[in-house]
A and B are shown apart, each in its own frame.
Chain A
C-alpha cells in the first residue's frame, strides 16, 4: 500500500512552509539553548534543503517530503502520527525512541529521516498482529516490566532486537544488552524477566 502523505501541520503544509525558505542547515539536536553560548553564526548558514523520502513503516509505504534536518523520530511522531515512539532526551542517551530499521534497533532521534530512505521501519505500533500481542508485549505485561510506561515502547523494541540478536544467553547478557534503554521508574529486574520469558518462548 502506498499513500502520499502531505497532511497539513499547523495549518500549513510543510511544503508551503519550506517555500518561505531561510532555513539553517545546522541540526540543533537539543532545544535547551543557553543564550548566546551556542549557535553563533547559525543565522548565516545556507538554507536546509528538503527532499523526498520513502519510508516503509509497519508495512505501509509513505512518500514524504522532509527537511534534511528532521530526525526519524520527529518524522514518525509528527508526520506519521505514530506517537508510540517516545522522545526522552533527543540525543541518544535514553533509548525511549528505539525503533527497528531493517530489523536492527536504532535510536530514532540519532538518525535523520533522509538517511533511512527506502528502509523498513518497525515501531511499537507495528508489533501486534491485530488483537494478538507480540510475545515481548505479553511478557512485559505479565512481568510488570513497566510502571509509567514511557520508556516501554523503546524497551520493547530493544527487547525484540535483543532476542533476535541472540543476546539472551544469560540474565547478565540480557542486562548488558538492554542497558541502552534507561528506565527511571527502574523496572530493570522485571524487564530482564520479561525478555528471558519472551526469548524462551521463541526458542
Chain B
C-alpha cells in the first residue's frame, strides 16, 4: 500500500479556503430568499401577554412576522436529535431569556433588522431562579441518558469502599473547583437557508450533523425523511453548538408558511441563547492516598446546570475519574441543578470540566505527598481499563510523560512555589495528563465509485468542521485504494450521501475513517478481482492476495515488474465500479491520552498571567496527517488558555440574561495571547482501530492543558485559585 497516510499533506480544500471560493452556508445564493431576524424575549420565565407586530408588518420590505400565532404547530424532535425539549414560536410560554418570540422576514437584512425593533412584547413574568449556588441544595442525580447507538453513561457509580478508604488514607485532599458558563463562539454564526419545491425542502445549514438536522426537520414538520435534504459543504467551526437546534427547524417551517425561501443567519448576540452553552459547574473532589502517592480513594461529585425544560442531559461526563487512574475505591456522582436559563450543549472536550478538577486535585496531592507530579501519575498509572477490567489495547501514556518531560526540560523545575523568577515576574511550570474518550457514536456508511478513468469518488454524509475530514479521508481512501491523492475526490456534507452521524465526540476517525477503510478495501478487492480475471491484464490468473495496489498501479507483490495500471483495468472494464457498505450500529469507543506541560509568567503586581510555553506528547494511535493533527493540538491548547484564563459568560441574575453576548466582552484568546506550541506524537497504531490504526483524538489536548496552566499559576505564585477563570482580580486579591 502506498504511504499516503501519515504524510503531512496540505489540506485538499486549502485553495478554496484561501481564495474565498469555499461556499459556507450564508454564502449560498438563493434567488428570492427572504432574510430573517429573530426577536428574543427579555424575560426568563413567564407568558407573553401582548405581542404587537402590526407596525413591523407594515414596515418596508417586510413579508411576514412569524410568531406563535401564525407559525404551524410543530412536533418536538426526539431527544437524541434535539437536546432542547421545546420549540419556540409555538405558544406564549417563556422558558428562558433570549428565547425567540418573533421571526421577522423581509426582502433585505436591513429591513428585517429594522422591523424587528418595531415588534412590541409584554410579559406576565414569574420569579426566576438563576443563581447556581442557590440551587445547590436541590441538586439531584438524573437517570442515565439512553441514546441509540451510544454507550449509556451512568450518573452514579461506586467501586470498592471509598468512604472506608478515605478514612484510612495517609494523605487526604478535599477540594472544590468551580467553572463558569462558556459559549462556543465559532467565527461562523449558525445559518440556515430553506428552499421548498412542492412538498420537499432543501436546507443549507451550518450543521455538524446533516443527517441529524434532516431527521429533526422531518420529525418537526411531519415529513418523510426523504423529503428533506440538508447540505453543509463548508462549516465554519461548530465546537458542539451546530448540532440541531430549533432555529433550523423554524426556518424551514417559516419558509413553507410564506412560500418563499428563507435565510436566517444568527447574530453573534442571538447565538448566546439559541444553541446552548457549557454549563456552570461545581465539583468536589476527595482523594485519599498512601504516603507514597498511591491513590486509595476518589470521591468525585460534579454538579451542572440544566434548564427547566430537559431532565437528563449532562454533557460533561466524569470519564477521567472513571478511566484514567488505577484506584480500587471510587465513588462518582453527576448531579444536575435546574435554573431558568437556556438548555446547555456539548462543547469542545466536554470531559474538560471534571478533568480540570481531577488534574488540579492531583497536583495538590503531589504537594501533599511531596512528590513530583509526573511521579505521582506514574505511580497511579493503569494498563487495564478500570471500567471493563480489560487491558487497554494500546496505551503509551508512560512514554508520553517521558518524552514530554524531556522536551520540556521538566527536570530543571524547582518544585517550590514562587521559586522560579525573572526579576519581579514569577515563572511557573505545570503539567497534567490529557485524556478524552472518542467515538461511541453510531457508525457510518460509505460509497466508492471508481471511474473508467481510474479516479475515485468517495461519499459520506459527514462534515468537515475544520478538523481536516476532507483531507484525512481523501488520504485514507487513496492509501487503501492504491491511488495518487489527486485522483481521489472525497464528498461530504449532503444527506443524499451515505449515512454518517454527528461530527462530535471525536468520532469522525472511528466512525467515518472505519467506513472509508472498509469500503475502499472492498473496492480494491473488486478491482484486483477484475484485473486477475481479465485475460488482457498482465496480472491475469494470479492469486488476488498476491497483488498490491499503489500509486495508481496494481502489481504482483513478489515481482513488482509484473503490473497493470488501475486506469487500464477500469477502462477495459468499460463501466464504473461502485461499492457501498452499510453503517454499523456503533463506531467503537476509544480513549486517547497524552502528557501536557505549560509555562506561565505571572506579574504579581498586576495579577497578569501570560502563557509562554505549551507542549504536549500524545498517543493518538497512528498519525494520519501530522499537519492536521498538530492543528488539533494547537486548537485544543488555545481553548485551554481561554477556559483557564479569560472565558466566562456573565449573567444578570435578575433577568437570567447573559450580558457579554459578544466578542469584546466574552474574551476568546487572540494571537498575542499565544506562544509557540510544541506537539509530539508517539505514532503507534492501535491494533483494535478499524481506521488504519488511528483513534479519535481531537478533544484530548484541551483536557489536561487547563489544569497544566492552573498548576503552573500555582507553582509561580503559591496561590491555588479553584474558581475559573484565573482573572487578574482574583490573582491580585489572593496575593494580598
A interface residues with partner B (beta carbon < 8 Å) = 9-12, 14, 17, 20-24, 26, 28, 30-39, 42-43, 67, 69-70, 74, 77-78, 81-91, 93-94, 96, 123-125, 127-128, 133, 137, 140-142, 144, 146-153, 156, 172, 174-176, 178-179, 181-192
Contact = CB atoms under 8 A, between A and B. Distances in A.
Contact of B668 (A38, A39, A182): A182
Interface stretch (B111-119, B170-178, B524-532, B722-730): B111-119
6 contacts: A33-B37, A35-B119, A140-B14, A150-B186, A184-B185, A186-B635
Nearest to B260: A10
B61 interface: yes
B268 A32 contact: yes
Instruction: From B20, B26, B118, name the one whose CB has the most chain A CB atoms within 10 angstroms.
Output: B20
B561 interface: no
Contact of B663 (A12, A93, A150, A153): A93
A186 B669 contact: yes
B349 to A, nearest CB: 13
B98 A185 contact: no
B539 to A, nearest CB: 38
A90 B187 CA distance: 11
Contacts of A21: 60
A86 B22 CA distance: 11
Nearest to B14: A141
A10 B109 CA distance: 11
Contact of A175 (B187, B627, B674): B674
B110 A93 contact: no
Given A42-B114, A141-B18, A87 B265 contact: yes
B370 interface: no
A188 B19 contact: no
A9 to B, nearest CB: 7
Contacts of B120: 36
Contacts of B26: 83, 87
Given A28-B117, A93-B664, A141-B14, A84 B21 contact: yes
Nearest to A181: B671
Given A11-B31, A34-B42, A152-B18, 4 more contacts: A26-B114, A90-B267, A182-B663, A187-B634
B180 interface: no
A17 B113 contact: no
B236 interface: yes
B270 A190 contact: no
Interface stretch (B127-135, B141-149, B401-409, B461-469): B461-469
Instruction: From A42, A74, A148, A178, name the one whose CB has the most chain B CB atoms within 10 angstroms.
Output: A148
Nearest to A83: B27
B634 A190 contact: yes
A44 to B, nearest CB: 10
Interface in B674-720: 674-677
A110 B24 CA distance: 22
B10 A141 contact: yes
Contact of B268 (A35, A84, A90): A90
Contacts of B163: none
Nearest to A123: B20
Contact of A156 (B18, B61, B108): B18
Nearest to B109: A74
B597 interface: no
A43 B55 contact: yes
A128 to B, nearest CB: 6
A25 B444 CA distance: 52
Contacts of B394: none
A2 B118 CA distance: 39
Nearest to B8: A144
B585 interface: no
B11 interface: yes
B235 A189 contact: no
A196 to B, nearest CB: 12
Interface string B52-92: 00010011110000000000000000000000000000000
A17 B107 contact: yes
B606 interface: no
Contact of A185 (B60, B635, B670, B673): B635
B634 A32 contact: no
B110 A74 contact: yes
B627 A144 contact: yes
Interface string B326-359: 0000000000000000000000000000000000
A111 to B, nearest CB: 15
Given A33-B113, A189-B677, A184 B186 contact: yes
Contact of B269 (A17, A32, A39, A88): A32
B112 to A, nearest CB: 8
Contacts of A30: 113, 267-269
A58 B120 CA distance: 43
B176 to A, nearest CB: 29
A144 B630 contact: yes
Contacts of B188: 86, 88, 148, 150
B638 A37 contact: no
A13 B527 CA distance: 55
Contacts of B496: none
Contact of A140 (B18, B59, B635): B18
Contacts of B98: 34
B38 interface: yes
B33 interface: yes
B32 A10 contact: yes
A94 B623 CA distance: 32
Contacts of A188: 634, 638, 669-671, 673-674
Interface string B99-112: 00100000111111
Contacts of B24: 83, 86, 150
B231 interface: no
B23 A83 contact: yes
B236 A89 contact: no
Contacts of B14: 140-141, 146
B631 interface: yes
Interface string B257-274: 000000001111110000
A70 B184 CA distance: 28
Nearest to B185: A184
B672 A176 contact: yes
B189 interface: yes
Contact of A186 (B27, B60, B638): B638
Given A150-B187, A182-B187, A88 B107 contact: no
Nearest to B118: A43
A84 B21 CA distance: 6
Nearest to A27: B110
Contacts of B239: 184
A67 B188 CA distance: 26
Contact of B237 (A85, A133, A141, A184): A184
Instruction: From A38, A82, A123, A179, name the one whose CB has the most chain B CB atoms within 10 angstroms.
Output: A179
A163 to B, nearest CB: 15
A93 B268 CA distance: 10
B48 to A, nearest CB: 10
A145 B468 CA distance: 12
B657 to A, nearest CB: 8
B42 A146 contact: no
Contacts of A148: 186-188, 234-237, 464-466
B119 to A, nearest CB: 7
A128 B29 CA distance: 23
Contacts of A78: 108-109
B662 A89 contact: yes
B639 interface: yes
A187 B27 CA distance: 23
A185 B674 CA distance: 13
A146 B266 CA distance: 23
